[in-house]
Structure 1
Amino acid sequence: MSKYLLNKFLFTVDRDPELVERYREQPRETVTWWEAQEANRLLNCVTAEASTWLAFDDTEREALATHDYPALFDLGAHPFLTLTLFIALFERDHDMPLGFQLEYASRLADRTLPYPDIST
């Protein structure tokens, strides 16, 4: 399991409006593509340097592919990164202000302290 890679996915997808839409419409395909093409690319690196060892495990891959943000939370994905990306994905599906944020809070309401460690 790599909390770093989960957070990197959330961070990079959230910052690209085209990727947000792609992830909304084709989540499994986007996760597969991102893992193959982007996972090992270094953040903020001007050159074409890349690592070779980063990959999601099956649990992470499935949580991302099914938009399962409670599972991502349980895996230690950073809650702010998760919330901001999923607001971009699903806020438009709610009629009331803060509709998605209220759903997010409701779906995570059964979690108790201590929360999963979010350090990477």
Structure 2
Amino acid sequence: MSKYLLDKFLYTVDRDPELVERYRDDPAGTVTWWEAEMANKLLNCTSDERTTWLAFTEEERTALSECDHVALFGLGAHPFLTLTLFIAMFERDHGPLEYQLAYAKAMEHITLPYPDIAT
């Protein structure tokens, strides 16, 4: 499991409006594409620099493909990254603060200690 890679996915997709729309329209396809093309690129480096070892676990891939923020939080993804990305993707389908309240309600069963979200 790589909390770093989960957070990197959430961070990079959230900062690109075209990727946000792509993820909204085709979550599983976007996850597959991103893992193959973007996962091993180093942040803030030239496009030629890459690592070779980063990959999602099946559990991470499924949670991302299903846009399951509760499962992602359980896997250690930072909740602010899921919240900001999912607001960009889903808030337009809801009234004011309706999505944020639903996001919180879906996680209200989680009790301390929370999963470690440090990377």
Quickly name the TM-score band, shorter chain normalised: over 0.9
**Structure 1 residues 62-82: Cα deviation after superposition (integer angstroms, max 9, x where no partner):** 000011110001000001101
CA distance in 2 between counterparts of 1:18 and 1:84 reads 15
Q: Secondary structure at the match of 1:109?
A: coil
2:101 corresponds to: 102
Q: How does 1:53-92 map to 2 (within 5 A)?
A: 53-92=53-92
- Where do 5+ consecutive residues of structure 1 fail to align? none
CA distance in 1 between counterparts of 2:32 and 2:114 reads 28
* TM-score, with structure 2 as normaliser: 0.98
Q: How does 1:1-120 map to 2 (within 5 A)?
A: 1-46=1-46, 48-95=48-95, 97-120=96-119
- Where do 5+ consecutive residues of structure 2 fail to align? none
Runs of 4+ displaced beyond 3 Å: none
| Identical columns (%) | 70
Instruction: Quote the offset at 1:46 in angstroms.
Output: 2.8
CA distance in 1 between counterparts of 2:88 and 2:15 reads 10
CA distance in 2 between counterparts of 1:48 and 1:114 reads 41
**Structure 1 residues 22-81: Cα deviation after superposition (integer angstroms, max 9, x where no partner):** 000000000000000000000011351100000000000000001111000100000110
CA distance in 2 between counterparts of 1:105 and 1:99 reads 10
CA distance in 2 between counterparts of 1:47 and 1:93 reads 35
Q: Number of residue pairs matched?
A: 119
Q: Secondary structure at the match of 1:41?
A: coil
The amino acid across from 2:34 in the alignment is W
Shift of the 47–18 alpha-carbon distance from structure 1 to 2, 3 Å rule, reads: closer
* TM-score, with structure 1 as normaliser: 0.97
